[in-house]
Structure 1
Amino acid sequence: MTALLENEILLLIGIAALAWGGYKLKALAASGAVGTFLVGIFIALGFKGYGLLLIGLFFVTSSFWSKYNRKQKESIRDMHEKGSQRDIMQVFANGGVPALIGLSAYVFPAEFWIYGFIASIAVANSDTWASEIGSLSKKRPFSIVQMKTVEPGTSGAISLLGTLAAVAGSALISLVSYFFWSEITITITLLLTAFGVMGCFIDTILGATVQSAYRCKVCGKQVEKKVHCQQPTQLVKGNPWVNNDVVNISSILIASVITILILM
């Protein structure tokens, strides 16, 4: 058995272990585990083991913060369309762009794909940390559209704690990448951190403007669900087809393209 084949087998085992582990730990639904395996294969094609370690770092840390202090987040999760177990669409929303960049790097090798890949994961990590940690803030978040404080968990709202978490989440991915790839200098690390945070704010803007939001006719709460309190909800904002998954993949794609254009 050649060394190349051995490495490929090890990568496949690593991808399968990540998907299976996520499923067993209830961080992934069954479809989410399948999606994770597919995303992992495309990332491995372009960026080998370091790419998998980076997406794995996002997965592990985001899963941790998703489960951290879960009781305090129960009222917020009731507003969201989906729970903490990621399905295949949620996996593709966060990992689809990195997977596409991995495939592109495999077919058309070029250094600039590395920057876009790192930025894509930095955005996903930044946004997840901002949402999960920011929801623990003792102060109500501020809506960038309504220009007033709103209920925690409302799309398009920011808080100081969430913003600091966004910076930390992006910085973690960028800093680890510095030790993985020789192409990543200190200056590029700082730029990638900034691009990751920028993507998080793009997500916030899209969430505040075009993402769908509904009003429950029973309890009056604004939610992301089309059914709440066992009754159909009423669309009060955004477009019906633009849910959180669409916003996530859009913000990651936009930030990644900007990163590649600037750093290529």
Structure 2
Amino acid sequence: MLDLLNNLYVLFIGTIAIAVLGYKGRALSKSGSIATIIVGVFIANGFGWKGLLLIGIFFVTSSVWSKWKKDKDETSKVVEKGSQRDWIQVFANGGIPAVASILFIVSESSLFWIAFVTAIAVSTSDTWASEIGPLSNKRPLSIFSLKRVEKGTSGAISLLGTTAALFGSIIISLSSVVLWDGSIELFLMICTFGFIGCFLDTILGATVQVKYRCSKCGKSTEHRIHCNEVTIHTSGSTFVNNDVVNITSILFTSIIACIFYVFV
């Protein structure tokens, strides 16, 4: 059975099947499906079926939460992108794990395994917070001003979203040490950095991520068009959207986790 799971042809076919199912289930766009195959191929070569299973846990759980949330809140009117992931979103979350896989193939260094699992832990923690947090009955708090803001606002936190972020990181950390026979110390490290990465994402979202305001309804949004009107840029860099924030927080946290692993 293990020989079959480790066969690259089987893994490749499995990756294509997941991408097709994601597209059919409207979790992925066409470009997102292609990007998923590319990311999957690199991960399969680097970390085999275990690596695919780990990132599969992120993808499946995130898609389930996204679908479940879709009809329960109105944050789609605020956030830039919806539940169907395109190639940019796939690479924003899967790009660092794919690069870590390539570097692991070349070097076989355990550091790149640390980077790989940490990146997925951050992605899962942040995505769970983003998908589940807006379902809270209360409006979230701005991470700096601690004032109530609209649901879906970048840089905002809620008790429900923070709890979801912690559990998302725990799921990936626990899965990692079970799959690779890791230690409790590794579990705690991965879990901690996954959770920290989510908060880094929130801080970047509050400070440098672009925000607009609708000239018609007055609501804050990430959309350039709202209520069929061009929105007004209010803060952040126009070059820094949610995808840029995601990949920055994932990359930075993964690097710090590797440094921590070496020196601590």
Normalized against structure 2, the TM-score is what? 0.96
The one-letter amino acid of 1:56's match is: G
Q: Which residue of 2 aligns with 1:210?
A: 208
Q: Which residue of 1 aligns with 2:44?
A: 44
1:103 CA drift (Å): 0.7
Residues 145-177 of structure 1: CA distance to partner in whole angstroms, max 9, x if unpaired? 333110111000001111111000000000011
The one-letter amino acid of 1:138's match is: N
The one-letter amino acid of 1:21's match is: L
The unaligned stretches of length 5 or more in structure 1 are none
- 2:5/2:49 contact within 8 Å kept: no
1:4 CA drift (Å): 8.8
Q: Which residue of 2 aligns with 1:231?
A: 229
Q: Which residue of 2 aligns with 1:198?
A: 196
Residues 216-263 of structure 1: CA distance to partner in whole angstroms, max 9, x if unpaired? 111111100111111111110100010000000000001101111111
The unaligned stretches of length 5 or more in structure 2 are none
Q: Which residue of 1 aligns with 2:21?
A: 21
Report the RMSD for the aligned CA atoms in angstroms: 1.4
- 2:8/2:45 contact within 8 Å kept: no
Normalized against structure 1, the TM-score is what? 0.96
- 1:145/1:209 contact within 8 Å kept: no
Q: Which residue of 1 aligns with 2:124?
A: 125
Q: Which residue of 2 aligns with 1:76?
A: 75
Residues 159-202 of structure 1: CA distance to partner in whole angstroms, max 9, x if unpaired? 111111100000000001111113x2011101110000000000
Q: Could you tell me the percent identity over the aligned residues?
A: 53
Q: Which residue of 2 aligns with 1:55?
A: 55
CA distance in 2, matches of 1:57, 1:10: 19
SS of residue paired to 2:233: strand
CA distance in 2, matches of 1:238, 1:6: 45
Residues 88-121 of structure 1: CA distance to partner in whole angstroms, max 9, x if unpaired? 0000010011011011101111112111111100
Q: Which residue of 1 aligns with 2:144?
A: 145
Report how many residues are paired: 260
Structure 1 runs (4+) greater than 6 angstroms displaced: 3-6
Q: Which residue of 2 aligns with 1:96?
A: 95
1:6 CA drift (Å): 7.7
CA distance in 1, matches of 2:79, 2:93: 17
The one-letter amino acid of 2:70's match is: R
The one-letter amino acid of 1:45's match is: N
Paired residue for 2:248, among 240, 247, 250?
Answer: 250
